[in-house]
């Protein structure tokens, strides 16, 4: 069973966590309860948050009653931003696979899939945390 859109487990966790934090504003949330809510290991989720924190999406507070909170308004945090912090910058070139050398001079997918890739990109860019 496979998915057509490429969103890793880690990126999924990041998106779900950020949505939960947005919904819970202005109170912050810690990895313990987030991990419980999302039913994943604390350590894995903690790693995800190190990236989110280092990239300025969340502000971390250590110690008792600590945790994470959004570091800017919810509507200013797009799904794309979260996605790219975890997965790396999205590659939008002539080939949906980002291939530079191919036996075929023109990409075997024509430009159908590129059109769709651009569509996904725009969609992720439009979606933000304001709706939670």
Partner DNA sequence: TTTATTTAGGTACTTCAATTCCTAAATAAG
Partner DNA sequence: CTTATTTAGGAATTGAAGTACCTAAATAAA
Binding window for a second copy (CB under 8 A); candidates: 24-32, 44-52, 66-74, 94-102:
94-102
Greatest distance between any 2 Cα atoms in the chain: 59
C-alpha distance from residue 25 to each of 47, 49, 72 (Å): 22, 17, 12
Which pair of tokens denotes residue 32? 């313990």
Closer Cβ to a second copy, 75 or 119, answer by number: 119
20 binds a second copy (CB under 8 A): yes
37 makes contact with a second copy (CB under 8 A): yes
Tokens of 50: 């190190």
Q: In Å, how far from its chain's centre is CA 34?
A: 16
- Name the site residues for a second copy (rule: CB under 8 A): 1-7, 12, 15-16, 19-20, 37-39, 79, 84, 87-91, 96-99, 101-104, 108-110, 112-113, 116-117, 119-121, 123, 127, 132
């Amino acid at each position: 069973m496979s998915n057509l859109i490429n969103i890793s487990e880690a990126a999924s966790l990041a998106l779900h966590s950020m949505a939960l934090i947005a919904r819970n504003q202005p109170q912050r949330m810690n990895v313990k309860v987030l991990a419980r809510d999302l039913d994943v290991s604390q350590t894995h989720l903690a790693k995800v948050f190190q990236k989110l924190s280092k990239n300025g999406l969340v502000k971390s507070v250590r110690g008792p009653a600590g945790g994470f909170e959004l570091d800017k308004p919810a509507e200013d945090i797009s799904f794309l931003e979260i996605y790219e912090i975890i997965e790396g910058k999205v590659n939008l070139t002539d080939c949906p696979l980002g291939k530079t050398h191919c036996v075929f001079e023109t990409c075997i997918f024509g430009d159908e899939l590129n059109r769709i890739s651009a569509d996904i990109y725009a969609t992720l860019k439009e979606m933000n945390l304001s709706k939670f």
